[in-house]
Amino acid sequence: MSTHIKHIEAIEVVVPARPGSLNSSDVHDKDSAFAKKFLTGESWTEFANQPKWIIRITLENGVQGIGETYRSASAETIKEAIQTLSGKDILKLNWRRLPIDDQRIYESFETAILDIVGKLLNVPIHQLLGGAYRDRVDCNGWTGRRNPEDAAQKAYEAMLKGHKIFKFKCSDEDPVRLWTKAIREKCGTGIRIILDPNQRWTDVETTLRLMEGVDPEVMYGLEDPILHEDLRGFKTLKATLNVPLFRHISLPYTQDIRDIIAFVKEDAVDGYNFNGSAFNSVLLAEIAYLEGKSCWRGSEVDLGISEAMGVHIAAASINCTIPSDLFGELVRVNDLIVKPLEFINDAIMVPQLPGLGVTLDTQALEQFKTGTIITS
């Protein structure tokens, strides 16, 4: 039967965060510029209340694939993508370069299409990306900004779950030295942390001041402390700090895949966090591998469909050996898939079923949909 696309549906959903999974109650985000830049709503603590879209593509032969956009995706660009893809033969598309420009929706359509292709060829998506290097993907724990007592408690809870790495968001207002002190007292060296200011420490001087007194034995690394364009600053920090320095290249924030070139040339960081579309993410990982650097799969604290895709991408990335940001089930109240991704301690088992390997939970979809639907 025909492998042409018969129908595409985009369903808007809002899946909130679990109580207590974000900032401490006494820590408030007031940085409106940061919130606007990262599409979080009025503040970071509102990010999980921003809408996402679930994409369903159905072929004329009845085979269906699913995808998930990043938060706050544009309805207009979704409509344009649906119009562009409707009627196309899925086996004649260039899967590496789909005719979609907006990176906040690209991966959702890519996921749905590769889900279908995997089902047609009876292989999991990681095989379409070149094959898996591993059958499980190590993952870290995650939380927002915390007071020192809460930071230690969250790290302790993650350690009991089997996590070896725990990631904290932070700003220049956070006493990170006190965080590491409290974590060391409660957890010993049983878990290490990544601090991620999302560039909010801005410059080298501020970063060195805030890192003064931070326990290096608790630290796994520091991600994006300063502005991305400050390449010289990254080089200075890499040479000065006694902890590894990481750079996040996030294609859904319209960062250019070519951003990595300058960092490779200057040997400016110790490793990378990549997120975005599958083929581009695997390409970024290959570039980092040639540089001799490791990476991990980044996220926007997503639902189960995007996280499953992230697992396939991480499995197909040769140097994705740093624990990945795949932990939405720890933060969101529901992941919208029937059977959750399988965790063994701190690792997700790579799905082996054809396509994406997960099934959309239609009952949960009914519960969390907003009522806004776009169809072909």
Question: pLDDT by residue (tens digit) across 12-23?
Answer: 999 999 998 888
pLDDT at 32: 84
pLDDT in tens, 230-241: 999 999 999 999
Per cent of the chain over pLDDT 90 is 87
pLDDT at 326: 93
CA dihedral 138, 68, 170, 274 (to 10 degrees): 60
In 3D space, the residue among 152, 112, 148 whose CA is nearest the CA of residue 308 turns out to be 112
pLDDT at 175: 96
Q: Please state whether the predicted TM-score (pTM) of the whole model is above 0.75.
A: yes
CB-CB neighbours of 26 under 10 Å: 8
At 324, the pLDDT band (50, 70, 90 cuts) reads: very high
Residue 311 has pLDDT above 90, yes or no: yes
In 3D space, the residue among 324, 321, 326, 354 whose CA is nearest the CA of residue 341 turns out to be 326
Residue 127 has pLDDT above 90, yes or no: yes
At 272, the pLDDT band (50, 70, 90 cuts) reads: very high
Q: Which CATH superfamily is domain 5-123+360-375 in?
A: Enolase-like, N-terminal domain (3.30.390.10)
Residue 335 has pLDDT above 90, yes or no: yes
Per cent of the chain over pLDDT 70 is 100
Q: Kindly report which listed range (43-57, 101-115, 138-152) carries the lowest average pLDDT score.
A: 43-57
Residue 43 has pLDDT above 80, yes or no: no
pLDDT in tens, 153-199: 999 999 999 999 999 999 999 999 999 999 999 999 999 999 999 99
pLDDT at 360: 98
Residue 70 has pLDDT above 90, yes or no: yes
Residue 46 has pLDDT above 90, yes or no: no
Task: Give all strands of the β-sheet with 347-349 in edge-to-edge order.
Answer: 136-138, 347-349, 343-344
pLDDT in tens, 198-214: 999 999 999 999 999 99
Q: Give the three-class secondary structure for 344.
A: strand
**One fold for both 5-123+360-375 and 136-349?**
no
Residue 331 has pLDDT above 90, yes or no: no
Tokens of 267: 């040997």
Residue 375 has pLDDT above 90, yes or no: yes
Contact 283, 259 (CB under 8 A): no
Residue 45 has pLDDT above 80, yes or no: no
For residue 148, what is the enclosing H or E element? helix 148-161
pLDDT at 29: 81
Q: Give the three-class secondary structure for 45.
A: helix
pLDDT at 3: 97
Residue 327 has pLDDT above 80, yes or no: yes
pLDDT at 21: 86
The residues, ordered by sequence, that sit 6+ positions from 114 with a Cβ below 8 Å of its Cβ are 65, 95, 125, 128, 278, 355, 356
Q: Is 49 exposed, middle or buried (0-12, 13-18, 19+ CB in 10 A)?
A: middle
pLDDT at 108: 98
At 329, the pLDDT band (50, 70, 90 cuts) reads: confident
Using CA atoms, how far apart are residues 87 and 85, in angstroms rounded to an integer? 6
Contact 268, 247 (CB under 8 A): yes
pLDDT at 65: 98
Residue 254 has pLDDT above 80, yes or no: no
Going from N- to C-terminal start, the domains of the chain cover 5-123+360-375, 136-349
Yes or no: is domain 136-349 CATH 3.20.20.120? yes
Tokens of 369: 């949909």
State the average pLDDT for the chain.
95
Using CA atoms, how far apart are residues 245 and 15, in angstroms rounded to an integer? 32
Residue 35 has pLDDT above 80, yes or no: no
Using CA atoms, how far apart are residues 73 and 53, in angstroms rounded to an integer? 7
Q: What are the distances in angstroms from CA 302 to CA 52, 86, 309, 310, 348?
A: 9, 26, 11, 10, 15
CA dihedral 88, 93, 95, 101 (to 10 degrees): -60
pLDDT at 145: 94
Q: Give the three-class secondary structure for 82.
A: helix
